[in-house]
Structure 1
Amino acid sequence: MKAIGFKTSLPIREENSFFVFETEIPKPGPQDLLVKLKAIAVNPVDYKIRQNSAIDTVLETPKIIGWDAAGIVVAVGEKVDLFNVGDEVFYAGDITKSGCNAEYQTIDQRIVGKKPSSLNFTEAAALPLTSLTAWEILFDRLRINKDLDKGKNLLIIGGAGGVGSIAIQ
């Protein structure tokens, strides 16, 4: 499969800061889905990981980054019970695994959602990390309770960017 990766943390203007390469299609582990990617999103975390993963070193194999993705399940691990081949999915990936800047990616079923039918793949790929972060801020950190806080207002100031725009909605 084709993938995009890097071997050292070069400035983005450098010719080899990213490059296309061929690699094996990953095999799903017991809880993994193998997803044929249809769309990905780029977030600030992609830049930060690329910038800091291989400073003053050259990796033996290229690192594939990218986490927000949407695609179609093409294979499942033996313990997968939440998804089937053919399901359309979206997710914010796992930083400990290869990223989604590739044709295929393995991802643990427990951090994947079924793609809403009202969204196309591009729209779905744009949502996972920003919407999860907004959710965590509102419901885990601020502890907003849909029953106890019903009818109350929340003012969000400076809600620019992905997380702010999702939180405002």
Structure 2
Amino acid sequence: MKSVGLFKSLPIEDPESLVERDISTPIPGDADLLVRVEAIAVNPADYRVRRRKADDGAFAVLGWDVAGELVATGSAGAGVSVGDAVSYAGDLPRPGGTSEFHAVNAAIVGHRPTLLTPAQAAALPLTALTAWEALFDRFGLSPDASSERRTLLIVGGAGGVGSIAIQLARLVPGLTVIATASRPLSRAWCERLGAHGRRYERIETGRSRLP
């Protein structure tokens, strides 16, 4: 199958920094699923793995946020069936999904949102998990909480995690969601996602502050 990866870390401008290579189609283990890849997302994990790749002659495939179609399951089975549209954030110690097919542990795979295209669904897993864990696991917020008046500041609201965090935070009763954003396009995006406040003032030092 076709795949894209690297043999060693090179500047991204180098034509050999990412190369196409034919590799064997993975065989899913007992707890795995085999997914026909339709879209992958590029995120900081890919950047860090690429920059740290040792010059050891081994070919490494990047891409851990994946959307695709389930084509085979291991013997353990799973909560999804062959033919289902799925998406997931993969497992860094295993090969990435920038390939025609990808083997992944069934425990981290879920049904793809039906209203999203494969490209849109692939952009969600890592950002959505990060935002969810920060808000509900670390901060202890809950959509079922009382309507106690509180305020949440999201720095960089127009970024990947910030965009998801705004939408999730708006599910919490009584929570005022303020997002920072500097460009008009970014400010409009945060407002569209539901942020209550986003206005910046510029001070003489060139830094920004919330009014």
TM category, shorter: over 0.9
- The residue number in structure 1 matching 2:90 is 93
- CA pair 150-89 structure 1, distance change in 2 beyond 3 A: farther
User: What TM-score does the superposition give when structure 1 sets the normalisation length?
Assistant: 0.93
- 2:164 aligns with 166
- Say if 1:156 and 1:168, in contact at 8 Å, map to a contact too: no
C-alpha distance in structure 1 between counterparts of 2:109 and 2:148, whole Å:
32
Report the CA distance between 1:150 and its aligned residue.
Answer: 3.9
Counterpart of 2:129?
132
Name the counterpart of 1:114: 111
Q: In structure 2, what is the Cα distance between the partners aligned to 1:52 and 1:157?
A: 30
Superposed CA offset, 1:61-87 (max 9, x none): 310011111000111100023121101
Counterpart residue identity of residue 15, structure 2: E
Q: Residue deviations 1:64-115, cap 9 Å, x none?
A: 0111110001111000231211011000000011101111100111101101
Which secondary structure state, in structure 2, belongs to the residue aligned with residue 156 of structure 1?
A: strand
Q: 1:141 to 1:19 in 2, by over 3 A?
A: same
- Tell me the SS of whatever aligns to 2:12: coil
Which residue of 53, 62, 66 corresponds with 1:65?
62
Gaps of 5+ in 1: none
Whole-angstrom distance in 1 between the partners of 2:94 and 2:36: 16
User: Structure 2: how far apart are the matches of 1:110 and 1:79?
Assistant: 11
Identity %: 47
Measure the CA separation in 2 of the matches of 1:59 and 1:25.
22
**Is the 2:8–2:57 contact (alpha carbons within 8 Å) kept by the matching residues of 1?**
no
The one-letter code matched in structure 2 to 1:96 is P
2:195 is matched with which residue?
none
| 1:32 lines up with 2:32 in the alignment | yes
Matched AA of 1:49: V
Displacement of 1:153 after TM fit? 4.1
The 1-side partners of 2:73 and 2:31 are apart by 8
Q: How many residues are treated as equivalent by the alignment?
A: 166
Give 1:154 deviation, angstroms.
3.5
Following TM superposition, by how much is the alpha carbon of 1:155 offset from its aligned partner in structure 2, in angstroms? 2.5
Instruction: Using the TM superposition, give the Cα deviation of residue 141 of structure 1 relative to its aligned residue in structure 2, in angstroms.
Output: 1.0
Distance in 2 (CA, whole Å) between partners of 1:77 and 1:152 is 48
Equivalents in 2 of 1:90, 1:44: separation in Å? 18
**CA pair 139-104 structure 1, distance change in 2 beyond 3 A:** same
Correspondence for 1:44: 44
Number of the residue aligned with 2:80: 83
How far off is 1:29 after superposition? 0.5
Task: Determine helix, strand or coil for the equivalent of 2:114.
Answer: coil
Q: Quick check: which has more Rg, 1 or 2? A: 2
Provide the secondary structure at the position in 1 that maps to 2:61. Answer: coil
Over 3 Å counting, the alpha-carbon distance change for 1:168 and 1:24 in structure 2 is same
**Distance in 2 between residues matched to 1:150 and 1:131, nearest whole Å:** 24
